[in-house]
């Protein structure tokens, strides 16, 4: 979420699109309660635009089950969710996304829904979303960069304990 510097009101959104990384790539491994080695399937998003205003009116996400595609030797892309339909957004305005983020803290069903979308169908959808889970989701939705995310989660202090390891890895 992009916020006005003076008023801190939401004025824009960043969207992180789908993933085309192959299964087994460390970047797409998702830790769930059932498996620490689960993988996220490839996905992409389609942004539907108003032809006159050129404003986005909805975003649909599609995914491919690689295991099924390999087993059947046929890829089948399926619609995973729609921002407006699945998340109940009245529109794609920054305020609607801010309201959704605020609902994550107050509504357990909203928190689980947003978390489960991020898990791409992996893990038990009925697992509770703890305070830390809700905080992480809220901060992911409302932060425009890593610094804002760190501040939002209360981890805004630089940890110097492993700085030497970080510096060594860049040499």
Q: Is residue 163 part of a domain?
A: no
Q: Is residue 95 part of a domain?
A: yes
Measured CA to CA, the distance from residue 9 to residue 88 in angstroms comes to 21
**pLDDT tens profile 75-103:** 999 998 899 999 999 999 989 999 999 99
**pLDDT tens profile 34-89:** 444 445 677 888 889 888 888 899 999 888 888 889 899 999 999 988 999 999 99
Q: Is residue 13 part of a domain?
A: no
Q: Is residue 119 part of a domain?
A: yes
Q: How many domains does the chain have?
A: 1
Q: Is residue 167 part of a domain?
A: no
Q: Is residue 160 part of a domain?
A: no
Exposure class string for 71-96: b at 16+ Cβ within 10 A, else e: eeeeeeeeebbebbeebebeebbbeb
**pLDDT tens profile 7-26:** 888 776 666 655 554 444 44
Domain enclosing residue 134, as ranges: 2-6+30-155
| Beta carbons of 35 and 121 less than 8 angstroms apart | no
pTM of the model: 0.69
Q: Is residue 162 part of a domain?
A: no
Q: Is residue 43 part of a domain?
A: yes
């Amino acid at each position: 979420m992009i916020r006005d510097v003076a008023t801190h009101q939401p004025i824009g959104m960043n969207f992180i699109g789908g993933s085309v990384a192959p299964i087994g790539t460390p970047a797409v491994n998702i830790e769930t309660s059932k498996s620490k080695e689960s993988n996220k399937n490839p996905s992409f998003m389609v942004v539907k635009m108003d032809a006159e205003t050129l404003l986005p009116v909805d975003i649909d996400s599609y995914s491919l089950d690689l295991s099924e595609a390999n087993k059947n030797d046929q890829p089948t892309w399926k619609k995973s969710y729609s921002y407006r339909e699945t998340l109940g957004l009245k529109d794609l305005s920054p305020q609607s996304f801010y309201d959704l983020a605020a609902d994550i803290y107050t509504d357990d069903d909203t928190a689980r829904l947003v978390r489960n979308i991020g898990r791409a169908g992996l893990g038990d959808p009925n697992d509770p979303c703890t305070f830390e889970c809700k905080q992480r989701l809220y901060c992911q939705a409302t932060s425009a960069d890593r610094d804002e995310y760190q501040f939002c989660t209360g981890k805004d202090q630089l940890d110097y304990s492993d700085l030497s390891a970080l510096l060594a890895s860049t040499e």
